[in-house]
Amino acid sequence: MTNWVWAGAAVVAGLAFGGAAQGAQGLYPAMAPIEQYASPDEAALARSAAPPSISNDAEVLVLGAHGYETAAKGKNGFVCIVERSWADDFASPDFWNPKTRGPICFNAVSARSVLPTYLMRTEWVLAGANKAQLLARTKAAVASGKVKAPEAGAMCFMLSKGGYLGDDAGGHWRPHLMFFTPRMPAAAWGANLPGAPVMGGADSGVDPATVFYVPVGAWSDGTAAEPMKM
């Protein structure tokens, strides 16, 4: 995925629905007024990404006028936020979808080596950068070494019922864990094979990483999720 740093609803949608996102091209050609990306009770929504045993002690960031701001300090190394649509792949039809909300809770390793790239992009977005400028800046950041491959052990929780991962992801999709690795083929994790519970994130050639998704059986509130057909 172009922005391996985050949820990647576009990749999830493509894997789960066979690329149905193509039909939505053009619905969101440019960024909507920033007010449409605001989210009430954002801190609570961010914490819903992981079980309370994790998120209650996590740092929480919320979207501000110029970037993400600390709403609550943490003590366990995890960082919970709500991602917006520009977390998606640059080719995603949901890239500027103002409905997108992706509650996600990064462990300490991914908070250190993965999250900063999304935070940097968000600052560019809020400063008025368009998609072409975002892509150019991302490529430059990779070339300069400012964006590096994720560190070993980087992962996150996406277990919130309250998220909306894009139109073609069917809203909140399903609860899942995400693992960030340096670039590697999906086959290295047995991803995308019949009967395998692992999905491999697409690699667009822009960022130095691959994302793997592992659906799980329950939401962060403990309720059961619909079983996934393998």
- 149-187 pLDDT tens trace: 999 999 999 999 999 999 978 788 999 999 999 999 999
Count of positions (residues) in the chain? 230
Q: How many CB atoms lie within 10 A of CB 217?
A: 11
Structure confidence at residue 203 (pLDDT):
62
In 81-151, where does DSSP find H-type helix? Answer: 108-113, 115-126, 131-144
Strand partners, 106: 79, 156
102 by DSSP, 3-state: which? strand
pLDDT at position 11 is 46
Give the span between the Cα atoms of 54 and 50, in whole angstroms.
6
> 26: pLDDT confidence band, cut at 50, 70 and 90?
confident
Q: What are phi and psi of 142, to 5 degrees?
A: -70, -45
- Which pLDDT score, from 0 to 100, does residue 168 have? 79
The whole-number average pLDDT for the span 110-126 is 97
Tell me the three state secondary structure of residue 144.
Answer: helix
pLDDT value at position 25?
A: 53
72, containing H or E segment: strand 68-72
β-pairing verdict for 59-63 and 79-83: parallel
* Stretch among 7-11, 42-46, 53-57, 171-175 having the lowest mean pLDDT: 7-11
Angle 5-11-152 from CA coordinates, rounded to 5°: 35
Q: How confident is the model at residue 229 (pLDDT cuts 50, 70, 90)?
A: low
Share of the chain above pLDDT 70, in %: 86
As given in the structure block, the two tokens for residue 76 are 């366990």
Per-residue confidence (pLDDT) for residue 202, from 0 to 100: 60
Per the listing, tokens 């995400």 go with 178
H runs (alpha helix) in the chain: 9-17, 42-47, 52-55, 108-113, 115-126, 131-144
Q: What is the pLDDT of residue 148?
A: 94
Cβ distance 118 to 87 under 8 Å?
A: yes
Q: Please give the residue that has the higher pLDDT: either 121 or 19.
A: 121
**CA neighbor of 122 nearest in space, from 169, 192, 68:** 68
pLDDT of residue 216: 96
Predicted model pTM: 0.90
